[in-house]
A and B are shown apart, each in its own frame.
Chain A
Amino acid sequence: MATVTLQIDGRTVTVPKGTNLVDAGKQAGVFVPHFCYHPGLPVVGVCRICLLEIEGRPKLVAGCATPAEEGMKIITRSAKVKEARRAVMEFLLIHHPLDCPMCDKGGECTLQDYTVAMGPAASRFRFEKTTWPEEDVGGKLVLNKNRCILCLRCVNLCKDVAGVEEIAVLSRGEETYIGTIGDRKIENELAGNIADICPVGALTSKDFRFKSRPWELKNEPSICTLCAKGCNTVVGYHPRRREVLRITARENMDVNQWWICDRGRGQFRAIHAPDRLQGPSRRTEGKVQPVAWNAAIAAIAEALRGVLARGGPGAVGVIASAELTNEELYLTKTIFRDGLGIQNVDAPERSQSPVVYPKFTIEGDRNPNTRGARAIGVAPGTGGRTVRDMIQAASEGQVQALVFLRGGPLDTFGDPATVSRALDRAALVIVLDTHASPVAEKAHWVLAGATHVEKDGTYTNSAGRVQRVHRIFSISPESREDWRVIQDLGVALGVLPERAAEAEQVFARLAASTPAFSGMTYASVGDQGAPLTAASADVAVG
């Protein structure tokens, strides 16, 4: 790659040819302020806050719109640059309502930060400010044009990333505003990103506004688990209320760049849904009763041992799920296939229509860990049955125990009538899941699992990238991480010699025993993920 070397405020830096001066500054450790510039969007150069001086040029230039050139000497600390920045800040604030105390963006607002850093303390504008009513623009966004600085990020996100012109610049001069056209609303599924990238409080999220001040949140890195893409996210957790209040995008150039879809953004709702399962329960003669964890695990193990003793390994079907982490799938395979010799191990596919935008695709595979399940070998063993065969066999009485490691609607597992018959006929149905479902309703034993923000682990996305999730909190004292539940079952069934204290140890065993993961550790996965070990990945995936 061709590079150029330049000086920024006396610091020498070498950057790839074509790098603009905002990014070159970043690499040199010199902060160049910017509102409109976003690395993922076209350069518009309109806000003018990134004006800087190039030695030998009479006029200031917009750093975002100026590529670095060999030998350039950039000055950002001159009086001239300082004055230009102050001027732009003064201009941006003349009609701004300065309503930070009641603005939802307060605390994470670029305009607020820059005003503190470089804005004038008082305005010389002694005229009535232009005001606009607040409006619903669709896309789970509220538009407050009073705060808008016309950076055009929202317009360009829709146009460039989503490929739709649902929001536009209208009118001109100081009457210029951002708006939807006619009765049209923002409908694209990437619109939530606008709330992330709006540098002011103009476009805020209906889901999050007035819920919390951003500084009250603990922002934890995570992964979206709604499709196989594995977008990197930030989970905004409110420790005092023990609640996840929002999910926002986290940059990962190898996965989702700067964006996530609105489905992923709305995932926080499911975490606190009223149908979350609470602890283990047992259904006998139509009555559901809570059971203590230890008692439940022991009873389930005994029941399973009974089926195995009477019907052999072929009498048990284990319906795992590519919604589970690599660690959970590894334990599933180790316990049921390797330990108990059950060949009926499989996981259902869950698919949807992919949604393809010019620069972002919501993938068709709804499972976050299909690649991981394959790489680990969560699949029928010799003579083992697929999900559909297990269901068919159970409906005919050949499989007597069904272990579901995620429930769901009946049609996830086959023809709903057959699934229903299988569940009715099986002598033992165990479900480990996070939410109530038609399958769980018919189970003899229901074990409450954890969502991806309540447990440690990793997922392998469709591109074979292994990425971390973290246990940010526990939904209730009764909840347990799934890998611990599966591990406990393995110990109770006598096929696991010892318990791992942390998910990291399970991952270490997985890495030691599975070629696709060989050499990987939580440290190597880091917060940006790491690809499966290349040489073996393709073999394992087939």
Chain B
Amino acid sequence: MAGANGNVLTKIVHLPGSETIDVYRANGGYVALPEALKKSSDDLIDMVKRSGLRGRGGAGFPAGTKWGFVPKGTNKPVYLCVNADESEPGAFKDRLICAKDPHQLIEGTLISCFAIGSSRAYIYIRGEFAAEARILNAAIEEARRAGFIGKNILGSGWDCEVSVYRGAGAYICGEETGLIESIEGKRGQPRLKPPFPAVVGLFGCPTVVNNVETIACVPHIVTRGWEWFAGIGTERNTGPKLFGLSGHVNKPGVYEAPMGTNLRTLIEEFGGGVPGGRPVKAVIPGGASCPVLRGDEIDIPMDFDSLTRAGSLFGTGTPVIMDDTVCMVRAAWITARFFAHESCGQCTPCREGAGWLQRLLWRIETGEGEEKDIDTLLSVTDQIEGNTICALGDAAAWPARGFAKKFRDEFLQHIREKRCPFGGGSHS
């Protein structure tokens, strides 16, 4: 049932009308849901645990384990929040699913709800994804008419409602507790943990927050079995993965490949190499928060563990490729500017530190920096990391530190020459 090249998650995205229920069903859609409804909640959770599916939102937490944290026999409603707030610079894989295969997401959402004992799902979508929100809403209506959403789904006696909740343009609402606050109508800012959402989440009730791609994997695990999923990729990094290539590649886009696919393979074979045959200078492997890799570090399996070992992060698996025309100080500054702008501002190290990093990088980029600014920069990243309520602090600290450490010479060149050797140094 796989599509061209054996693709599963992106099997139908190239087909005309792929966002409609008819095309989805004609290609094997909504087969998993009736199968899942015959199973028990425990069986489904067990299945996902055994599949080895790790969260595709960046942290790589085992999805089945997360589901298992929902207290059994709770008398409160249980919620599923699907995180479609994809806002990390470089990441655009979830958007493809929302736009081109919304029913895969809806079917996964329904099965996941059934597994965790929920009858209510919210798909929290990034505010800028207006078209995708419309497509999802239309798909939800189709699914409702087909009897997959609503009361007594497929005669199972189980009810489930799914709705789309649009964000208002804050990256931080992709953090799971920031997302929950936002759905509750509050200022989007992360909560103190514990308690974790599985126990006290949306409206104070047990809640699971899963990434779009994570949820999209679920129907396939049900129809093909956990063994199939676990057989793809590497031992602790299983299943198919959507890789979003951007930057200096000939064919940027979303590609499906097994977890653990080599980064160089992704760039050269999927992405068609760097335009003009220029060398790869640097790659941000998994979205802007992941520390940069040098061009000589890209022979690496793209999975959570390999990148962590390499001192970076897998993140959302969406590499940004930069050739030798890119100024690393400027790249670092653009990243820092993003995180400073997106910090919710509630806790001190992130609020103050992210803005400070941005200023330091800009000063170096404009040729006004001193060598001690690099030391201050590294020290500020140390002062942020690990000291904040949520991971945005870390996300601001890691890339700045990564660029400064991996490309220290280029930073020093800016300082020595009192200018950007790439001719940069103006806002644009």
List CB contacts (< 8 Å) of B331-350 with chain A: 340-349
| A91-B353, A124-B376 given; A171·B383 CB < 8 A | no
Contact A88 B351 (CB under 8 A): no
Contact A173 B344 (CB under 8 A): yes
| A45-B192, A87-B387 given; A127·B359 CB < 8 A | yes
Question: Contact mask A39-60 → B, CB, 8 Å, 1/0?
Answer: 0000111111101000000011
B154 interface contact, C-beta 8 A: no
Question: Contact mask A279-306 → B, CB, 8 Å, 1/0?
Answer: 0000000000000000000000000000
Contact A171 B347 (CB under 8 A): no
- In the complex, A144 Cα to B391 Cα: how many Å? 30
Chain A residues closer than 8 Å to B359, beta-carbon distance: 127
List CB contacts (< 8 Å) of A49-99 with chain B: 49, 51, 59-60, 62, 65, 83-84, 87-88, 90-92, 94-95
Contact A173 B386 (CB under 8 A): no
Partner of B349, one of A65, A87, A95, A124: A87
| A94-B352, A95-B352 given; A175·B387 CB < 8 A | no
Contact B388 A173 (CB under 8 A): no
B421 interface contact, C-beta 8 A: no
Contact A172 B348 (CB under 8 A): no
Partner of A175, one of B345, B346, B348, B376: B345
Chain B residues closer than 8 Å to A472, beta-carbon distance: none
Contact B352 A47 (CB under 8 A): no
Shortest distance in angstroms between A246's beta carbon and chain B's nearest beta carbon? Answer: 30
Chain A residues closer than 8 Å to B349, beta-carbon distance: 48, 87-88, 91
Chain A residues closer than 8 Å to B347, beta-carbon distance: 45-48
Contact B387 A173 (CB under 8 A): no
Contact A87 B383 (CB under 8 A): yes
Chain B residues closer than 8 Å to A149, beta-carbon distance: 348
Count chain B CB atoms within 10 A of each CB in A88, A127, A173 and give the residue with the most.
A173
Chain A residues closer than 8 Å to B383, beta-carbon distance: 83-84, 87, 90-91
| A59-B386, A172-B170 given; A48·B356 CB < 8 A | no
Shortest distance in angstroms between A440's beta carbon and chain B's nearest beta carbon? Answer: 55
Contact B340 A173 (CB under 8 A): yes
Contact B387 A174 (CB under 8 A): no
A176 interface contact, C-beta 8 A: yes
- In the complex, A44 Cα to B376 Cα: how many Å? 29
Shortest distance in angstroms between A470's beta carbon and chain B's nearest beta carbon? Answer: 41
- In the complex, A48 Cα to B353 Cα: how many Å? 13
Closest to A172 in B: B345
Shortest distance in angstroms between B21's beta carbon and chain A's nearest beta carbon? Answer: 39
List CB contacts (< 8 Å) of B367-390 with chain A: 376, 379, 382-383, 386-389
- In the complex, A90 Cα to B68 Cα: how many Å? 42
Contact B351 A125 (CB under 8 A): no
Question: Contact mask B353-364 → A, CB, 8 Å, 1/0?
Answer: 111100100010
- In the complex, A65 Cα to B389 Cα: how many Å? 10
- In the complex, A88 Cα to B383 Cα: how many Å? 8
Contact A174 B348 (CB under 8 A): no
Contact B387 A84 (CB under 8 A): yes
B224 interface contact, C-beta 8 A: no
- In the complex, A127 Cα to B354 Cα: how many Å? 14
Count chain B CB atoms within 10 A of each CB in A45, A125, A172 and give the residue with the most.
A172
Question: Contact mask B276-317 → A, CB, 8 Å, 1/0?
Answer: 000000000000000000000000000000000000000000
B187 interface contact, C-beta 8 A: yes
Shortest distance in angstroms between B84's beta carbon and chain A's nearest beta carbon? Answer: 21
Chain A residues closer than 8 Å to B192, beta-carbon distance: 43-45, 62, 65
Interface residues on B, range: 20 to 34
A150 interface contact, C-beta 8 A: yes
Chain A residues closer than 8 Å to B348, beta-carbon distance: 46-49, 88, 91-92, 149-150
A355 interface contact, C-beta 8 A: no
- In the complex, A176 Cα to B188 Cα: how many Å? 13
Contact A174 B344 (CB under 8 A): no
Contact A48 B388 (CB under 8 A): yes
Question: Contact mask B185-196 → A, CB, 8 Å, 1/0?
Answer: 001000010000
Chain B residues closer than 8 Å to A174, beta-carbon distance: 340, 343, 345, 351-352, 354-355
Partner of A172, one of B344, B379, B389: B344
Count chain A CB atoms within 10 A of each CB in B187, B351, B386 and give the residue with the most.
B351
Shortest distance in angstroms between B197's beta carbon and chain A's nearest beta carbon? Answer: 16
Partner of B356, one of A59, A94, A152, A169: A94
Shortest distance in angstroms between B415's beta carbon and chain A's nearest beta carbon? Answer: 14
- In the complex, A84 Cα to B192 Cα: how many Å? 18
| A60-B386, A84-B387, A127-B359 given; A173·B341 CB < 8 A | yes
- In the complex, A531 Cα to B376 Cα: how many Å? 59
- In the complex, A92 Cα to B353 Cα: how many Å? 10
Question: Contact mask A147-172 → B, CB, 8 Å, 1/0?
Answer: 00110100000000000000001011
- In the complex, A171 Cα to B188 Cα: how many Å? 11
List CB contacts (< 8 Å) of A86-123 with chain B: 87-88, 90-92, 94-95
Chain B residues closer than 8 Å to A47, beta-carbon distance: 347-348
- In the complex, A91 Cα to B355 Cα: how many Å? 10
Closest to B353 in A: A91
Chain A residues closer than 8 Å to B351, beta-carbon distance: 91, 150, 173-174, 176
- In the complex, A432 Cα to B354 Cα: how many Å? 65
Contact A172 B386 (CB under 8 A): no
Contact B340 A45 (CB under 8 A): no
- In the complex, A90 Cα to B379 Cα: how many Å? 12
Shortest distance in angstroms between B319's beta carbon and chain A's nearest beta carbon? Answer: 27
Shortest distance in angstroms between A36's beta carbon and chain B's nearest beta carbon? Answer: 9
| A48-B388, A59-B386 given; A173·B354 CB < 8 A | yes
Closest to B386 in A: A59
Contact A44 B341 (CB under 8 A): no
Shortest distance in angstroms between A203's beta carbon and chain B's nearest beta carbon? Answer: 18
Count chain B CB atoms within 10 A of each CB in A46, A51, A124 and give the residue with the most.
A46
- In the complex, A62 Cα to B346 Cα: how many Å? 14
Count chain A CB atoms within 10 A of each CB in B341, B344, B346 and give the residue with the most.
B346
Partner of A48, one of B170, B379, B387: B387
- In the complex, A308 Cα to B347 Cα: how many Å? 74
Chain A residues closer than 8 Å to B376, beta-carbon distance: 124
- In the complex, A150 Cα to B347 Cα: how many Å? 8
| A45-B389, A91-B349 given; A173·B343 CB < 8 A | yes
Closest to A80 in B: B386
- In the complex, A538 Cα to B359 Cα: how many Å? 69
- In the complex, A48 Cα to B340 Cα: how many Å? 18
Contact A46 B354 (CB under 8 A): no
- In the complex, A300 Cα to B172 Cα: how many Å? 77
Contact B346 A46 (CB under 8 A): yes
Contact A51 B387 (CB under 8 A): yes
Closest to B339 in A: A173
Shortest distance in angstroms between B14's beta carbon and chain A's nearest beta carbon? Answer: 39
Chain A residues closer than 8 Å to B363, beta-carbon distance: 127
Shortest distance in angstroms between A155's beta carbon and chain B's nearest beta carbon? Answer: 10
Shortest distance in angstroms between B250's beta carbon and chain A's nearest beta carbon? Answer: 36
Shortest distance in angstroms between B355's beta carbon and chain A's nearest beta carbon? Answer: 4
Shortest distance in angstroms between B353's beta carbon and chain A's nearest beta carbon? Answer: 6
Count chain B CB atoms within 10 A of each CB in A47, A59, A87 and give the residue with the most.
A87
Chain B residues closer than 8 Å to A94, beta-carbon distance: 352, 356
Ordered by A's residue number, 16 sampled pairs between the chains whose C-beta atoms are within 8 Å are A46-B389, A48-B347, A48-B348, A48-B349, A87-B382, A87-B387, A91-B349, A91-B353, A169-B345, A172-B342, A172-B343, A173-B343, A173-B344, A173-B351, A174-B352, A176-B346
Q: Which 6 A-B pairs have the closest CB atoms?
A: A176-B345, A87-B383, A174-B355, A91-B352, A173-B343, A172-B345
Binding site for B on A (CB under 8 A): 43-49, 51, 59-60, 62, 65, 83-84, 87-88, 90-92, 94-95, 124-125, 127, 149-150, 152, 169, 171-176
What 20 new A-B contacts, CB under 8 Å, besides A88-B349, A124-B376? A46-B346, A46-B347, A48-B347, A48-B348, A84-B383, A87-B349, A91-B349, A91-B353, A92-B348, A94-B352, A169-B187, A171-B345, A172-B343, A173-B351, A173-B354, A174-B340, A174-B345, A174-B355, A175-B345, A176-B344
